[in-house]
Structure 1
Amino acid sequence: MLSPRGYTFIGLNALRAFSIISLILVFASQIVTLVHDIQAVNRFQAGKATTTDDPSSNDYIIDSTVPNQPAGVFWAVLNWLLIIFQVIVLLLSELGWPAAFFARFFPVLGRDFGLGALGVIECLLGAAILSHHVDEFSLVAAFFLFAIGCLNILAGLLFRESAKLKRSITTWREHSQNVLPTHVAGSDEKERTAGFGFGRQGERAAGLKGYLISKPLESLPRFAPNHGGA
Structure 2
Amino acid sequence: MLPPRAYTFIGLNGLRILSIIALLLVLSSNIVTLVHDVQSFDRFQAGKTAVSDAAATNTTAANILDSDYIIGSTIPNQAAGVFWAVLNRLLILFQVIILLLSEFGWPSAFFRRFFPVLGKDFGLGALGIIQCLLGAAILSHHVDRFSLVAAFFLFSIGCLNMLVGLIFRESAKSKRSITSWREHGKNALPTHVAGVNIRPVASAAPSFVSSVFKGDEKAPGEAKIGYGFGTAGERAAGLKGYLISKPIESLPRYAPKRSPSTA
TM range (shorter): 0.7 to 0.9
Map 1:81-96 → 2, pairs under 5 A: 81-96=90-105
TM, length-normalised to structure 1: 0.80
2:166 aligned to which of 157, 160, 166: 157
The answer to whether the aligner puts 1:203 opposite 2:216 as a matched pair is yes
Give the gaps of 5 or more residues in structure 1. 215-230
Give the gaps of 5 or more residues in structure 2. 52-58, 191-198, 226-263
Q: Any idea what the Cα deviations from partners look like across 1:177-218, whole Å, max 9, x if unmatched?
A: 22207x96769x89xx68x859xx6139x9xxxx9767xxxx
Which structure is larger by alpha-carbon Rg, 1 or 2? 2
Q: Any idea what the Cα deviations from partners look like across 1:37-83, whole Å, max 9, x if unmatched?
A: 00000111111799924133100011100000001000000000000
Counting matched residue pairs gives: 203
TM, length-normalised to structure 2: 0.70
SS for the counterpart of 1:202 is: coil
Match of 1:17 in 2: 17
2:118 aligned to which of 85, 109, 120: 109
For the aligned residue pairs, the C-alpha RMSD in angstroms reads 2.7
SS for the counterpart of 2:142 is: coil
Match of 1:98 in 2: 107
Structure scoring higher RCO (CA < 8 A, sep ≥ 6) equals: 1
The answer to whether the aligner puts 1:168 opposite 2:168 as a matched pair is no
Q: Identity over aligned residues, as a percent? A: 70
Q: 1:203 touches 1:213 (CA, 8 Å); kept in 2?
A: no
Map 1:5-44 → 2, pairs under 5 A: 5-44=5-44
SS for the counterpart of 2:216 is: helix
Match of 1:65 in 2: 74
Distance between the aligned counterparts of 1:123 and 1:19, measured in 2?
Answer: 12
Distance between the aligned counterparts of 1:212 and 1:99, measured in 2?
Answer: 64
Match of 2:157 in 1: 148
Shift of 1:34: 0.2
SS for the counterpart of 2:215 is: helix
Q: Any idea what the Cα deviations from partners look like across 1:159-183, whole Å, max 9, x if unmatched?
A: 00000010001111111122207x9
Q: Structure 1 residues 98, 212: closer, same or farther in 2, change over 3 A?
A: farther
